Homo-oligomer: A and B are copies of this chain.
Amino acid sequence: MFSIGQLSSQAQVKVPTIRYYEDIGLIDPPHRSEGNQRRYEPDALSRLTFIRHARDLGLSIDAIKDLIVLNANPDMPCKEAHVIANQHLKDLQRKITQLQQLSVELTRITQNCNSDTVGHCKVLEALGDHSSCKTDH
Q: Which residues of A contact B (CB under 8 A)?
A: 46, 49-50, 53-54, 56-58, 67, 70-71, 73-79, 81-82, 85-86, 88-89, 92-93, 95-96, 99-100, 102-103, 105-107, 109-110, 113, 115-121, 123-124, 127-130, 137
* Residues in B neighbouring A102, C-beta threshold 8 A: 56-58, 92
Pairwise interchain contact B106-A89, C-beta atoms closer than 8 A: yes
* Residues in B neighbouring A81, C-beta threshold 8 A: 118, 121, 123-124
Q: In the complex, A110 Cα to B81 Cα: how many Å?
A: 9
Q: In the complex, A126 Cα to B106 Cα: how many Å?
A: 37
User: In the assembly, how many copies of this chain are there?
Assistant: 2
Choice from B74, B96, B116, B121 contacting A99 with Cβ under 8 Å: B96
* Residues in B neighbouring A118, C-beta threshold 8 A: 70-71, 73-78, 81
Which single residue of chain B is at the shortest CB-CB distance from A56?
Answer: B137
Q: In the complex, A28 Cα to B100 Cα: how many Å?
A: 33
Pairwise interchain contact B49-A128, C-beta atoms closer than 8 A: yes
How distant is A112 from chain B, measured CB to nearest CB, in Å?
A: 11
